[in-house]
Structures are given as C-alpha cells and as structure tokens.
Structure 1
Amino acid sequence: MADNSELFRNIVESIFNTWTALRLAVEHGMGGHRGKEIVLRLVDEVTNLVCKGDIGAEEIADFLIEFMDTEFHTECEDNSPDEVATVLWQFYQHCKAGNHNEINLELSKLPKCEVWLCKPLRPMNTQEEAMDSEDAVSSGQSSNIAVGELDPEWTQVKSKRRKERL
C-alpha cells in the first residue's frame, strides 16, 4: 500500500498543477508568502485523507472547498473542487486496483501546463526588494509608508516598465 500512497501523492500533485483556481490563489498571494508550502501540505493531507479512509468524491470535494476557504480565503464558484475531487477519486480507484496502464492513459489526457508546484521555493532577497521599493518612491510614486514599514499581510505588486518603441 505504501507504493500506492506514493503513486497517488504524485497524481495529486499532477492534478493540482492543472487546477487553475489553486494556482491563481497562490499567484495572487491569497495564502500569504508561503502559498506553495500550503499547497504542498494540501497534497499531503489529501493523499493521507484518501489513502487512509474509505471516502468518496463528495467528501474530498468538501475537504477541498473548506481548505481553499480557510487557507486561501478563496471561494471557487466554478465548481472546480467538485471536478478535482472526482478526478482524484477515480485515480485512487485505479491505484487500489493496480491499473497502472489506465493511470498512465488518464494522466496523458490531463491538460499540458507549466509545472509550478514542484519548483523549488525561491528565497526572498530582502535587499533587492528594499531597492525596488526605494526605486518606486524615488521615481515619483508617492507613498506615506517608509520602505521598512510595508504591511506583511499585503503583497506588493511591481509593474514592469515597457521598452520604448523606436
């Protein structure tokens, strides 16, 4: 069963890589600066939940909905937690039955996307961030907040400067 658990964990990770609502929640900082770490914890929790108990797709969906709300303050109005839960449940049934050919076939049908979840977390470079903040203040953008007083609950979004056309 340990092999099935590890196989299923990899499947969960692959499916979460294709889940747009989850990726957007992380990219938009809905889980704070440790969004990817939260998702990796979600991968482990879903793997344990499904592998340890006899649960159905509805229970998985309820868990995903609750997790997205609690950890990412995100409500998925697109029904995606239900869809993800159904796919996860189906894959787990294939794992239990040892249908590795079916697993490979179904995995090949998943949409191709950038693998964002497995990428190593980039450590924050505070000196670089401080310089960017100072540049924003000195470039004419007014701010009443000193560089070192940024609210840790907010994510600073920096715009990219467009190159001038010749």
Structure 2
Amino acid sequence: MENSFKRVIEHIFDNWTGLKLAVDYGSAGSNSKEVATGFMNYMIEYCLNESNVDVDSIQEALDDVMDQEFDTICEDGSTKEIAILLYKFLELIKQGNTVAFDEEYQKLSVSGACTNKNEIAVKENLNNDICEHSEIEENCTPMDQDSEWIEVKSRKRR
C-alpha cells in the first residue's frame, strides 16, 4: 500500500512545476533537494496515517510545507489539483481497488499530471521580466555615492 502511494507521490512531485522551481532556485537553502525528499516522505506519512484526511487537509498540508520550508506560496491552484489527485489515489488504496488504481496511475503517467496549465505563459512572463530587468539595469545611474538606492530612468518605447 505504501509503495503504491509512494510511486504516485513521486510521480506527482516530479511533475509539479511549483516545487521544481522552488528546488531549482534553492528556496529551502542549499539542501533544497533533501527538503523536497523530506516533503514527499512527510506527505506519504500524512496521507496514510493521519485520521480524517480529505482534499482540504491535504491541500493545507501542501500549502503549509511550501510556505514554511520553501518560502513559496502557490497561487496557481496546483496544490488543490495535487490534493484532489492524492485523495483520489488514497481512496482507491483504502478500498483495495488495485485495478482502478493502476488504471488511474497509467492515465496520470500519460497526461504528465500536475504540470501547471499556464506553464508556458509563466515561462514567457519570466523571460519578459528578465528582458525588462536587463533594460532597466542599462538605464540605471547611481543617485549618491553613500546611498544604496539607484535612479531608474524610463525609456520611451517606439
């Protein structure tokens, strides 16, 4: 039971854009990968051993760990999506319905679940922000030698 659920959580966490970004940017410090592994193990234990687990409690646990450990708030709805998936698989395990579990897992594997539907838009926005940030830096001039502030001059667009 635990191995089957672990396989699902590993797949979901491996495809979760928000967690990937948090780990890639080192949001939990230099050991972000280890923290993510601990997060996965915590969610396995929480879902399998906590009494009265439901979608909302799973989402709350996901949100809490992302906020406390990775200093990240997921506003893209991914924690809700993941909570729904985890709860669905958890219920199939509790019912002992291994056939339906395997069918749902195969669907999950094909669909690449939990990749944010807006992932392309997010990447484009990040690229635009980087470009805009570079343009701003080119137009920056120090205000005062002792000040940490810089003056940003706007540039007219054609």
The 2-side partners of 1:25 and 1:105 are apart by 31
Return structure 1 stretches of 4+ with deviation > 4 angstroms. Answer: none
- Find the partner of 1:17 among 10, 14, 19: 14
- Out of 65, 68, 80, the residue aligned to residue 66 of structure 2 is 68
Q: Which runs of 5+ in 1 are unaligned?
A: 114-166
Are 2:33 and 1:33 aligned? no
More RCO (CA 8 Å, sep 6+):
1
CA distance in 1, matches of 2:23, 2:81: 19
| Pairing 1:59-138 to 2, within 5 Å after superposition | 59-110=57-108, 111-112=111-112
Name the Cα RMSD after superposition. Answer: 1.4
Percent of aligned pairs with the same amino acid: 32
Q: What is the aligned partner in structure 2 of residue 6 from structure 1?
A: 3
2: distance between equivalents of 1:67 and 1:75? 10
* TM-score normalised to structure 2 length: 0.65
Structure 2: tracts of 5 or more residues without a match: 114-158
- What SS does structure 2 have at the residue aligned with 1:102? helix
The offset of 1:6, in angstroms, is: 2.2
- 1:89 CA displacement: 0.6
How many residues are aligned here? 110
